[in-house]
């Protein structure tokens, strides 16, 4: 059935709309009743059912986005770049952020032995042959994971915020922040896939993992440019300037944040 309030397609036996939460209780197929969730008595079972339906709907849509992103990536930016998918975009960026945290832990773990071998050899050379360095610090893997996760999530909002400012304020664009963030989240699927492959490769070869990561980030930059073509002003001559100015301001913001916290 279709929701009489927002038009979203739902299961025939659904009690609530998975998009706006409209209650279907007592409604005819024409949706003449005006009863809403506020008027209905919501039970625990209703909440569970609504949560289940929303989760299933988001999982199905995410699966379709992933499939289309790798089969026809540029078209998928146009197809799924709708601000109505903002909640789903938060989940997709969250997945990318989690993978960023795991990748950060993997890199530190794999480089740790190499670094410590270097420190021990250097210490031994300074203090005399036979001297061993025993002051190896404990690696805070949990902190690395959470710091990387939070940084990735925060930087997603910073980047889209800068793009929104440059596009709408400087170059007089009209697209909403939510739509920009949704398109960004679709691009984050490429980064997520790259991080996942690089994460596995990091246990085999750090150099190979770095190459794959670099290629994935380069590809995502290509998609960012197409993102700007979708949300930018009609004058295509301005799209390149938007890309360069947004990238420059973003890297400047990252530099400032690093200086502030490190």
* Strand (E) or helix (H) holding 34: none
Cβ pair 98, 149 in contact under 8 A:
yes
Nearest in space to 51 (alpha carbons), one of 25, 84, 14, 18: 18
pLDDT band at 34 (very low <50, low <70, confident <90, very high): very low
Which is it for the CA torsion 26, 31, 37, 38, positive or negative?
Answer: negative
Nearest in space to 231 (alpha carbons), one of 243, 249, 219: 243
* pLDDT tens per residue, range 44-61: 766 777 677 777 777 777
Is the pTM value of this prediction over 0.95? no
* pLDDT tens per residue, range 155-213: 999 999 999 999 999 998 889 999 999 999 999 998 999 999 999 998 888 889 999 99
- For residue 139, the 8-state DSSP code is P
Distance of CA 131 to the CA centre of its chain: 48
Tell me which of 76-80, 126-130, 166-170, 195-199 is least confident: 126-130
Mean pLDDT for 114-123 is: 61
Cβ pair 191, 96 in contact under 8 A:
yes
In the prediction, which pLDDT does 215 show? 93
Cβ pair 25, 15 in contact under 8 A:
yes
Nearest in space to 189 (alpha carbons), one of 162, 156, 166, 163: 156
> What are the C-alpha distances in Å from 39 to residues 7, 45, 64, 102, 104?
20, 17, 35, 45, 49
Return d(Cα 231, Cα 253) in angstroms, integer: 22
Tokens of 94: 């969250």
Please tell me which residue, 140 or 132, carries the higher pLDDT value.
140
């Amino acid at each position: 059935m279709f929701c009489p309030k927002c038009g979203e397609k739902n299961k025939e036996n659904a009690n609530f709309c998975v998009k706006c939460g409209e209650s279907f209780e007592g409604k005819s197929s024409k949706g003449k009743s005006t009863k809403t969730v506020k008027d209905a008595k919501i039970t625990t079972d209703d909440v569970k059912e609504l949560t289940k339906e929303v989760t299933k709907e988001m999982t199905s849509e995410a699966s379709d986005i992933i499939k289309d992103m790798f089969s026809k990536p540029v078209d998928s930016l146009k197809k799924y770049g709708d601000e109505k998918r903002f909640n789903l975009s938060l989940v997709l960026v969250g997945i990318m952020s989690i993978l960023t945290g795991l990748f950060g832990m993997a890199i530190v773990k794999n480089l740790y032995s190499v670094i410590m071998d270097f420190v021990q050899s250097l210490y031994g050379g300074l203090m005399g042959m036979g001297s061993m360095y025993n002051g190896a610090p404990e690696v805070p893997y949990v902190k690395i994971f959470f710091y990387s996760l939070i940084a990735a999530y925060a930087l997603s909002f910073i980047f889209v915020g800068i793009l929104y400012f440059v596009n709408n304020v400087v170059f007089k664009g009209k697209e909403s922040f939510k739509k920009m963030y949704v398109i960004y989240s679709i691009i984050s699927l490429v980064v997520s896939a790259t991080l996942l492959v690089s994460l596995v490769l990091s246990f085999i070869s750090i150099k190979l993992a770095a190459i794959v990561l670099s290629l994935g980030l380069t590809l995502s930059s290509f998609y960012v440019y197409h993102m700007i073509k979708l949300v930018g002003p009609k004058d295509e001559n301005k799209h390149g300037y938007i890309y360069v100015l947004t990238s420059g301001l973003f890297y400047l913001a990252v530099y400032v944040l690093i200086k502030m916290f490190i």
